[in-house]
A and B are shown apart, each in its own frame.
Chain A
Amino acid sequence: MQAKKIKALIAKPGLDGHDRGAIAVSQALRDAGMEVLYTGIRQTPQHIVETAIQEDVDVLGLSCLSGAHMSLFKEVTSLLKKNKVKGLLIFAGGIIPDDDIPKIKKMGIKQVFPPGSPLSEIVSFIQKSAQKK
């Protein structure tokens, strides 16, 4: 058997085009030895979930800076449930109001990283929490 690898999908739901953060996270995860996909901007929740399914990723990172995160994240997590996707570690990044964080965690999103979070922190969080399949 070969060594297992963490496979991650970094996704940008919503209409905002600011993907500097998403790209930097993708690069950092790759440099930490993971296999990384990035969806590009303006992806619908349906798109993101279907990609996560076909690619069978271990980790899903959602980045949203437009302020529409609550509805979009909810849609993503519900679709994952509907499609019976299990064992996926989900984290989020972007401008997220403090009051929203507990609600987001309730959706099944493990951690929220605000702008300016050190990349090393995100990497080590994933290395600790992801279940390799």
Chain B
Amino acid sequence: MTPKQLTQKILKKDRLSLARFITLLENRDTKAIEALGDLYPKTGKAIRIGITGPQGVGKSSLLNQLIKEVTKQKKKVGVLAIDPSSALHGGAFLGDRIRMQSHTLNKNVFIRSMATRHNHKGLSSALHDAMTALDAFGCDVIFIETIGIGQDEIAISQLTDLSMLVLSPDFGDKFQALKSGLTETCDLLVVNKIDLPKSKQALATLKEMTYLPVLGVSSKKGTQISVLYKKIIQQYDALKKSKVLDFRRTNQQKAAIREKLEETLLSNFNQFWKDKKIQLEIDRLLQKKKNPNQITKKLSTKL
């Protein structure tokens, strides 16, 4: 099936086509990217929510509970769960889904795992496009789960309507380290595992450290999950009312364009770098005929 045919079937709610199309997007298939044009006009309905946080805080389990909340209201949910590719061998273990698989047979839930494949921001290069596909497919809510390694927290907030950072009661130093960047970028702080001892204290400390709303939940026990979901929707409605949402969505597109341009540049640059003439120039280094600054200056004119 051609990408164009796939997009037509996606609009008819065909899961198989949606899944295949996302694969093509992950491969950055040029025809698939072109065919996105057919889906684009059908988007804008879905709420896009980013969930990020350090490893081990229970993002997937929390997401599992949130999916339950959303589907209770007969809404359609899409999930994109992102896991890192190994820099060493390029392989990836896509382990988030296992925590959410009680929803696999629910026809209102579509979960897709993606590897980062050396995306320079720790996200998948196909992320924005995959959201477009899920939106056009008819999802009311799209969750993006990413591993929190610092950099991608900022990136994810640029690609979503609102985002939350998930921490566990033992966050301590991790939070200090992350603090500078994230208070500006996320909308909500969630402390998971409040069934653990000492969590009250952790919540109180956190509340003192930030002006962001802080909410304690336990995805294991299911406590405060519906409150969390309500809070998300409230925030979303407020954003919508104040037109901040429009601003954010424009920014999302801008960020996506920028991201794609950067990738194009990077890919062009990689081509340029492989060029024999360039390499010849660089080889002169070895003969000590030129120093690195001279070579850089000369090459930059050819970029």
Binding site for B on A (CB under 8 A): 1-5, 7, 26-27, 29-40, 43, 46-47, 50-51, 53-56, 83-85, 133
B98 and A39 form a contact (CB under 8 A): yes
Question: Which B residues between 135 and 179 are near A, CB-CB below 8 angstroms?
Answer: none
Distance in Å: Cβ of A115 to nearest Cβ of chain B: 23
Q: Identify the B interface with A (CB < 8 A).
A: 15-16, 19-20, 22-24, 26-30, 85-86, 89-95, 97-98, 101, 104-105, 110-113, 115, 117, 125
Q: Given contacts A5-B117, A50-B104, are A56 and B89 in contact (CB under 8 A)?
A: no
B19 & A30 in contact (Cβ 8 Å cutoff): no
B16 touches A83 (CB 8 A): yes
Q: Is the interface of A mostly helix, strand, loop or mixed?
A: mixed
- Which one, A1, A7, A85, contacts B30 given CB within 8 A? A1
Give complex CA distance A133, B24 in Å. Answer: 8
Contact of A35 with B105 in the complex, beta carbons under 8 Å:
no
Contact status B112-A4, CB under 8 Å: no
Cα(A83)–Cα(B91), bound, Å: 28
Are the CB atoms of A40 and B98 closer together than 8 Å? Answer: yes
| Residues of the B chain whose Cβ atoms lie less than 8 Å from the Cβ of A2 | 26-28, 117, 125
In the bound complex, residues from chain A placing their C-beta under 8 Å from that of B101 are 39-40, 43, 47, 51
Residues of B with C-beta under 8 A to A51? 97, 101, 104
Kindly list chain B residues whose C-beta atoms are within 8 Å of the C-beta of A3.
27
